[in-house]
Amino acid sequence: MTDHDIRVLDDSQYRAAHTLFRSTLHHPPTNDDAWKFIRESYEPGRALGAFAEDELIGTVQAFPSRMAVPGGAVVPHAAVSRVGVRSDWTRRGVLSALQRAQLRSFVESGDVVATLRATESLIYGRFGYGVASRYRTVRVDRSRAVPRTRIAGRVRLVDLEAGERIARSLYEEVAPRRVGTIGRWPAWWSMNLHRPTPEDNPRIAVRSSAGQDDGFLVYKVKPGAHDVSEKKPTTLEVVDLWARTPEAWADLWLFALGVDLVAEVVAFGRPVDEPVEWLLGDRRACKSFGEEDETWLRLVDVPAALGARTYRDGVPVLIGVRDTYLPDNTGTYRVSADGVSRVSDAPEVVLDVDTLASTYLGDVSFSTLAATRRLDVVEPDAPARADALFAVSETPWCGTYF
């Protein structure tokens, strides 16, 4: 018997839910100017609240999206965010109840996968989320960063309105080519490009070649002190960078590295395999910091998720899946280069749905998880067979924070 209930929030409750969420992160309520932007990100039916005697004590929401999976398919995806339980109600089953209700709503709406960004790493595994991609922070010392090459195309600055239009179009085209990327909902763009105070708005550079736009860079410059003795360097922050071709990617990075009166260039949340250092004569001018988990992935519909991606050539493997929160996913799946089918055979390797999620995009191997005792091996060669089937040619990366 619980002393709270879960309800779908309506427009009159969104701001209270957002205030509660911010309080769990120890932030004050959003001011009126900022709320004008944030309000747009709440969509009917996508935000839930936990109530005790009509008092809001917890909340969670999700943005409608899609995700690119190995092989080029794009599947319906829910981007989970703004999860919080009031501090006087934690450890009383509120979050579990919210998660159960939200996962059921994903099933009903046809979402195949869900993802989130975890503030704390020990919370979401029990709800079926597993780490499926990573990112790194890059910091370049411009005093040492002499590029080995020059900009080959044309990189121009554009105003915010035109830049947003170009960026949205290019992102929709380019992003799905990389495994792990997600579709961005309209409010994501407004919240990330338009700030309550104009001076906080980012700048946008667009790269073109042969008269066609093929990449964009969103960046901010944080002024420091020009006197290096004050140790307050002017920093250029790469906020968002996407390109149709390697040539466009290189030109946009070269542009960022060439902006005058900047002491360092910093990029957060970049792919772990992005070769920025190879653009420089002195590779040591580029430092990589804080490789961290990025995407926490939940397979909402395991048969649909496994069936959506492709597999490499190899000997089939029988994978047993356990799912406490969505028991319909529990069962044995035969995975082969020809596809996936649900079978009644005994599994050759058994794992929980959060562990399967970690393998799904190809960022970690079954053999690694077997070695660390994250799955049960029935047939000794099963992890190696699964590795061969699930292998991908490019490290998964999302590149969108929400």
- Geometric angle at alpha carbon 314, from 381 and 70, rounded to 5°: 110
The maximal CA–CA distance of the chain, rounded, in angstroms, is 71
Give the integer Cα–Cα distance in Å for 151 and 259: 13
Tell me: is residue 93 an annotated ligand-binding position: yes
344 annotated ligand binder: no
Q: Is 399 annotated as a binding residue?
A: no
* DSSP of 18-48: HHHHHHHTT-PPPPHHHHHHHGGG--TTSEE
Q: What is the DSSP string of 179-217?
A: TT-BPPPHHHHHHHH--SSGGG--EEEEEEETTEEEEEE
Name the active-site residue from 14, 63, 106, 124: 124
- Say if residue 158 carries a ligand binding annotation: no
Confirm whether residue 229 is marked as ligand binding: no
Which residue is listed with tokens 């109840």?
97
Instruction: Specify whether 401 is catalytic.
Output: no
DSSP state, residue 147: B
Q: Is 71 annotated as a binding residue?
A: no
Q: Is 96 annotated as a binding residue?
A: yes
259: annotated binding-site residue? no
Nearest to 264 by CA among 222, 229, 227: 222
Residue 94 assigned as binding residue: yes
What burial class does residue 246 get, using C-beta atoms within 10 Å of its C-beta: 0-12 exposed, 13-18 middle, 19+ buried? exposed
**Is residue 268 annotated as part of the catalytic site, yes or no?**
no
List 21, 171, 360, 402, catalytic entry: 402
161 labelled as ligand-binding? no
Main-chain phi, psi angles of 206, to 5 degrees: -120, 135
Q: Is the CA virtual torsion 259, 264, 266, 271 positive or negative?
A: positive
> Is 307 annotated for ligand binding?
no
Contact at 8 Å (CB) between 61 and 81? yes
Active site residue ranges: 124, 402
Residues in the annotated binding site for acetyl-CoA:
83-85, 91-96, 119-120
Residues in the annotated binding site:
83-85, 91-96, 119-120
